[in-house]
Amino acid sequence: MWARPPAILKWRIPECVPAVVQDQSDVIQGNFYISRKTVTITPSRDNHGKILSCTASHPELEKELNCSVVLKVQVWPMNVLLFTTGGNQSHSTDIYVQEDSPTSITCKAIGSFPAVDLPVSFPYGSDIIPITNSSKTSSLFDEKLFDTDTTIKIYPKKTDHGKYIRCYAFMDSEVVGLESAKLMVYALPDEANINIPEDLHDGMDTNVTCRTSNGYPAPLTHWYIGSRNLTDNSSLKSSLNSANRYDTLSTLIFVPRKFDHGKRLLCQAVQPETTLGRPVNDSMVLNISYGPIVSITSRRLTVRGVHTGFVLKCTSDGNPPAFTFKWLCNGKDLSSRRNMTLYKTVAQDETVTSSELAIEYPFSEDSCDFKCIANSTYGSGTTVLNSIFYDPLVIGIKTTVLHLGSQDCENE
């Protein structure tokens, strides 16, 4: 205050406000005195709204000059927390959520006065659309303070993985508290892709791979042929990609067998540690090459109800299928046998073909070892039927000899 002579300054402080009043200082500046009297207070929340006033008296004044201030006491929050609603209320550097699953997240400011503004911010470009609800209650630690909650509901996407949610506590537009947490989005991989050699051969060791991308956490890969689980025969490698999600490569080593032809090979990516129920699959039908497996069967040859001989049927199962058949009798071609007729090759299904040999009016001299040779582009298979014919028109099977690729034959 400027005056000549110096004014007399006096503080009026409520008794409940702890204060230390310093002596007045008067400094000459030009023809006047500048007078100051400082008070140091230690306010508490109980002093909120109390009025402090300073009065100045001077001989030249008819009445005292007065200036007053109202104490606006702020208590900054003791803590600011971010956590999954209903979960443990503690500092969480990572918040785990599930892709496309509605999730509530709470920001809580504990023990402030007055209650803070508590907005939650999201990274620029995030696909998260929050639904926000805020409330304040008396603090559990001190009923004169406030706890403030802001709860948001989000629908996280895989692209939100690794982004930060931030919660700010404001008082009078000033930040008095901050907490942030990184979103960790559980999600299945984008896809699974099987890579298999073009040529699968019966009995040959084969490596098959299955790749997945962008899963979190790293998925496990299961392998099946039909209902048969082959996972124990596989290995798995995982690596973090640029999005901090996992790409995996699973390698299956198996031996294709004839009985696996036409079955479905399945690669299945699963994440058993999460609530993600459905797996990500890729599958393909196995096309396994194997040589002809040959057998001979027989039936009666009947003309107008009369038994006139027998028909021998040579059947081959192979992939690719056998396309030619050759019949031999005791190692010789059948062309010289007038009572034996060879019919053309017949395709029965994708892998099975057959050829028939008709024997009319056989006698004992027609007895021989009938050999059938089936040929395919993969290889050949052979079987032999040892037969004895008796007079009149009786057939007996003495023995059956099986060669490479042959099976037991049925005989009449």
pLDDT for 77: 92
Q: Which domains does the chain have, with CATH numbers?
A: 2-70 (2.60.40.10), 79-186 (2.60.40.10), 192-286 (2.60.40.10), 290-402 (2.60.40.10)
Give yes or no for residue 403 having a pLDDT over 60.
no
Task: Name the band, by pLDDT with cuts 50, 70 and 90, for residue 230.
Answer: very high
- What SS3 state is found at 253? strand
The contacts of residue 124 (CB under 8 Å, 6+ apart) are none
pLDDT tens per residue, range 49-104: 889 999 988 888 878 889 999 988 888 999 999 999 888 888 778 999 998 888 88
Q: Name the residue type at position 80.
A: V
Strand partners, 271: none
Yes or no: say if 270 and 293 are a contact pair by the CB < 8 Å rule: no
pLDDT for 186: 92
Alpha carbon separation from 49 to 17, 39, 184, 318 (Å, rounded): 11, 18, 46, 97
Could you tell me how far CA 277 lies from the centroid of its own chain? 10
Give yes or no for residue 25 having a pLDDT over 60.
yes
Arithmetic mean of pLDDT over the chain: 86
Question: Please, what is the Cα angle at 270 between 261 and 223, to 5 degrees?
Answer: 20
Q: Beta strand 25-29 with 32-36: parallel, antiparallel or unpaired?
A: antiparallel
Q: Put the strands of the sheet holding 32-36 in their side by side order.
A: 2-3, 32-36, 25-29
Q: What percent of the chain has pLDDT over 70?
A: 90
- What SS3 state is found at 256? coil
pLDDT tens per residue, range 132-161: 777 888 887 788 889 999 998 888 888 899
Give yes or no for residue 394 having a pLDDT over 70.
no
Which DSSP letter does residue 267 get? E
Task: Name the band, by pLDDT with cuts 50, 70 and 90, for residue 129.
Answer: low
Q: What is the value of pTM for the model shown?
A: 0.72
